Amino acid sequence: MVVKRIVLLFAVAQVVLPASVAFAAGDAGVAELAAEVGSKGWIVYAARSSENGTWDLFLMRPDGSQRRNITNTPDHEEGGPRFSPDGRRLLYRRFAKGTVIHHDLWGFQGELMIAAGDGSAPVQVGADKEYPWASWSPDGTQIACLTMKGIQIVDLDTKEMVRQLPRKGIYQQLFWSPDGRWFCGVANARIMWTVVRMNAETGELNIVQEFQSCTPDWFPDSKHIIYPSRPAGQKGYGFTQLWMSDGEGGGAKMIYGEDGYHIYGGALSPDAKYVLFTRCAQDGGGSEGAGAPICVMRMADAPAIAGPSPDLRKVHPDAKEAPVLQLVDGWEPCWTYADVGAK
Amino acid sequence: MRHRMARMCCAFVVVPMLCASCAKKTDPGVDAQVTSLGSVEVTAELLEIPGEVRNDPLYDYAHVMKYKVLTVHRGQVDKDVIYVGQYNPAKPRDAAADARVGQIGGNLKQFRVGDVHRLAMEVPIDDYYMGGIINKYFGQTEDPVYWALWTNRVVR
């Protein structure tokens, strides 16, 4: 009888509890954070499907609830989803089944797909490897692509290239700012793995952060950039932390770090009050495997350090113990406040 | 008498054998790829590999090395000293090609300063390669960086 009750309780918990785990700053603080973000829009991300084993796209509430597979394609892998600025559409890349999604090359791999924000009505745009590193324009009518020849602005209706700028050493992870004035990306500037900002009109380039920094993305204000960075001076290989700077490279500060984990997938909520990231024991973010736990934290709690991290705490003595909501395993999450997931 | 025989043996048997042996070891590094890939083909001496050649399985990059041009076989090279980006140089050239760079290769197993290579190349590197570049010459020269497509060992 007791066993039956335990089994029943476990079954109920599986159904009722969101797919989230508390892991930092106490369960009460994390539960409070979960309650705070639970109704604030939707997160889209890629993850290995338990149904078909391939990478699919999923939607969930920011507390991990109402999770559902929105592509469910056993014959393809999908990744790199990005909501359009109004949240009504998604762009992502679709790969042949069995493709190893390379953490640095994925924007060059596969086909560009555009769908409704809930993943419905997917349309293939171009052929394999076309429109690499596609990124939305502010009004969603154009995309910026990073090609060997340069940064190409493409009209989505006509598929015509309307403008091209020299790429000036940018080689991956191009993103257009929400106000349309800038691009950010990873470049060979003075050294490789440098996060840079480019003026979208003039092509003028400035360094944001040098040395072992990558995967930049924009804050909603288009004035700040979030990026993972593996600073020098750590013991051995070191660990990748989540950082931010202003667009000119000033005011660099750590958002979250944890010795033993590499922090990638940094993205902001639309009001910049919360930050998404993934924490992965292996460097690279986990796209070659099954991703890594997606986490949510308040930006007001930055800089934060989790775990013992004694060396990191010496470098950042002002860092806090922040509530961090750990959700399911995934890769490259993106957040919208549009009501794309409501059924 | 015995000494005379030995000298004759040396003159007519050993010396020609040694010369033949030497001749066999000479190799201009020619093959079908190095003579056809890219727009530039040179024989050049590797003068310098600045910095550490990294062997990182997680990240790929090109490492810019300094060469002294000995012979230009194809294309136009205006300088005696050129800068060449070699992709993942910790790997033998026949194991360096991957999804990022496509067809690169050659028979060179290891980069060593002082060795002579026959190279098929394109220029500038940014028109043919998108990825991390270790360029310790940044800011020291305005010369273009070549992109090595095929690298064979030359034995002179």
Give residue-wise pLDDT tens across range A184-228: 999 999 999 999 999 999 999 999 999 999 999 999 999 999 999
**pLDDT level of residue A14 (50, 70, 90 thresholds):** very low
Q: Is A185 inside any structural domain?
A: yes
For A35-73, write each residue's pLDDT tens digit: 999 999 999 999 999 999 999 999 999 999 999 999 999
Q: Is A341 inside any structural domain?
A: no
Q: Assess whether pLDDT exceeds 70 at residue B11.
A: no
pLDDT of residue A7: 38
Name the average pLDDT for chain A.
93
Name the average pLDDT for chain B.
90
pLDDT of residue A23: 64
Q: Whole-model pTM above 0.95?
A: no
Contact B131 A102 (CB under 8 A): no
Q: Assess whether pLDDT exceeds 80 at residue B38.
A: yes
Q: Which residue has the higher pLDDT, A64 or B103?
A: A64
- Chain A: closest CA distance from residue B20 (Å): 48
A169 close contact with B: CB closer than 8 A: yes
Q: Is A342 inside any structural domain?
A: no
CB-nearest to A193 from B58, B132, B138 is: B132
Query: Which of B130, B135, B140, B141 to substitute to test the interface with A, most A CBs within 10 Å?
Result: B130
- Chain A: closest CA distance from residue B74 (Å): 25
Q: Is A33 inside any structural domain?
A: yes
Q: Is A98 inside any structural domain?
A: yes
Distance CA B105, CA B118 (A): 12
Q: Assess whether pLDDT exceeds 90 at residue A4.
A: no
Q: How many domains does chain A have?
A: 1
Side-chain half-sphere of B2: how many Cα atoms within 13 Å?
0
Q: Residue A202 is part of a domain; what is its CATH number?
A: 2.120.10.30
Query: In this prediction, does ipTM exceed 0.90?
Result: no
Contact A190 B58 (CB under 8 A): no
Q: Assess whether pLDDT exceeds 70 at residue A324.
A: yes
pLDDT of residue B96: 96
For A231-262, write each residue's pLDDT tens digit: 999 999 999 999 999 999 999 999 999 999 99
CB-nearest to B138 from A104, A190, A193 is: A190
pLDDT of residue A27: 87
Contact B128 A148 (CB under 8 A): yes
Query: Which of B54, B100, B126 to substitute to test the interface with A, most A CBs within 10 Å?
Result: B126
| CA proximity to A293, closest of A302, A306, A280, A275 | A280
**Domain residues for A234?**
3-336
Q: Is A218 inside any structural domain?
A: yes
Question: Tokens at residue A223, please?
Answer: 């004035």
Q: Is A90 inside any structural domain?
A: yes
CB neighbours of A193 closer than 8 A, spacing ≥ 6? A186, A210, A211, A212, A213, A214, B132
β-bridge partners, B150? B105, B120
For A101-139, write each residue's pLDDT tens digit: 999 999 999 999 999 999 999 999 999 999 999 999 999
pLDDT of residue B45: 98
B124: cis peptide before it, omega within 30°?
yes
Residue A99 to residues A55, A106, A246, A332: CA-CA distances in angstroms? Answer: 10, 10, 36, 17
Distance CA B89, CA B73 (A): 24
pLDDT of residue A177: 98
